[in-house]
Amino acid sequence: MRRIGILTSGGDAPGMNACIRAAVRTALAHDLAIVGIRRGYTGLIGADTIPLDRAAIRNTIHLGGTILETSRNPDFYTRDGRLRAAAAIERMGLDGLVLIGGEGTFHGASLLAADADTAALVGVPGSIDNDVYGTDYCIGFDTAANCAVEAIDRIRDTARSHERLFFIEVMGRTTGFLALESGIAGGAEELAIPEEQVSVARMSERIREGFSIGKKSAIVVVAEGKTPGISFHLAREVKKHLDFDSRVVVLGHLQRGGPPTLRDRVLGSLLGVAAVEALLEGRSGCMVGEVGGELAYTPLEETWQKKKPLNEDLRRIFTILSD
């Protein structure tokens, strides 16, 4: 192992820069040359690299987004695109590659490994959705969840002042991790997540009961699911059962940006070091994550083939605490 590359792919997540920084410093500490690949798989196919040294990653740990930039490249989901990427890896002289991203990133990496005998591949989970199997938390989730909680706190002030019902939509794609944890932390009255069937009638009745015992406002946290903006539909359906004035707030990409929290900086640093050390140990075709406070290595295929379950204890306590 003499020369490695690092890229970020898919959606950006706060803490990615902390991971890049840690990987670069670890590589240099072991006398490895390391290059950054710009714009994810787009840059990999085009061999678009930038040199990475201590100067390049100085004063980046606090920055959101990714200094390497990112993209989603449909060409990489074709065999021709992956073979072009494999050829580019050979031209760049890379012995190993650190891939920071989510399910789509690791799916692509699995296909690349199946199509070509190329550099060793080690993944690092970076996704605000926190939906990657093989790690308790992904880089970026904590920052996004804290952003959602701050929004809930702010909206609750105006909801209480106007005695109003609010629907707050958070990201999460097809999973409810963001909605569940921000809903608990924000004291939400109701939750709508993809993992549970939403009964508008039952939700409306619980909201009605809350107002009948003296509540002056209510917050419903909604996971965007496959259809961003679903909160507007849900609000219209609830309106058919309740004659309450309601408002919808869609947080959207606001949750992606901003400085990473302490947790995401530490997690990014931990996994960045672990990824490079995994390459040095001869590992390949795996993702390094954190499970139960310990490093865990999961085959890349499992990270996107297996569905990561919600924490059942958190689902249970939300029901108790939201009464």
94 and 202 housed in the same domain:
no
Give residue 76's Cα distance to chain centre. Answer: 21
112 found inside a domain: yes
278 and 228 housed in the same domain:
no
Predicted pLDDT at 6: 98
265 and 237 housed in the same domain:
no
Predicted pLDDT at 74: 87
What domain range includes position 297? 3-140+260-305
Nearest CA-CA partner of 178 in 206, 210, 140: 140
132 and 271 housed in the same domain:
yes
Q: Tell me: the pLDDT tens digits for 157-192?
A: 999 889 899 999 999 878 999 999 999 999 999 999
Catalytic residue, from 12, 48, 129, 264: name it.
129
For 190, list phi and psi in degrees, rounded to 5. -140, 160
37 found inside a domain: yes
Evaluate if residue 86 carries a pLDDT over 80.
Answer: yes
Q: Tell me: the pLDDT tens digits for 21-33?
A: 999 999 999 999 9
270 and 243 housed in the same domain:
no
281 found inside a domain: yes
Q: What percent of the chain has pLDDT over 70?
A: 100
184 and 201 housed in the same domain:
yes
57 found inside a domain: yes
Residues 6+ apart with CB under 8 A from 199: none
Are 143 and 260 in contact by the 8 Å Cβ rule? The answer is yes
pTM of the full predicted structure? 0.95
- Domain of 168, CATH number, reads 3.40.50.460
Are 167 and 231 in contact by the 8 Å Cβ rule? The answer is yes
Evaluate if residue 323 carries a pLDDT over 80.
Answer: no
Mean pLDDT of all residues belonging to the chain: 95
Are 259 and 95 in contact by the 8 Å Cβ rule? The answer is no
29 and 70 housed in the same domain:
yes
126 and 15 housed in the same domain:
yes
75 catalytic? Reply is no
Q: What percent of the chain has pLDDT over 90?
A: 87
124 and 268 housed in the same domain:
yes
Are 68 and 20 in contact by the 8 Å Cβ rule? The answer is yes
If one counts the domains in the chain, the total is: 2
314 found inside a domain: no
Q: Tell me: the pLDDT tens digits for 185-234?
A: 999 999 999 999 889 999 999 999 999 898 889 999 999 988 788 999 99
50 and 159 housed in the same domain:
no
Predicted pLDDT at 77: 86
Residues 6+ apart with CB under 8 A from 309: none
How large is the angle between the packed helices 177-185 and 312-321, nearest 10 degrees?
40
136 and 24 housed in the same domain:
yes
67 and 211 housed in the same domain:
no
Q: How many other C-beta atoms lie within 10 A of the C-beta of residue 214?
A: 6
Q: Tell me: the pLDDT tens digits for 281-290?
A: 999 999 999 9
Residue 59 burial class via C-beta count within 10 angstroms: exposed 0-12, middle 13-18, buried 19 and up: exposed
Evaluate if residue 96 carries a pLDDT over 90.
Answer: yes
Evaluate if residue 62 carries a pLDDT over 80.
Answer: yes
8 found inside a domain: yes
Task: Measure the CA–CA gap between 93 and 100, rounded to whole angstroms.
Answer: 20
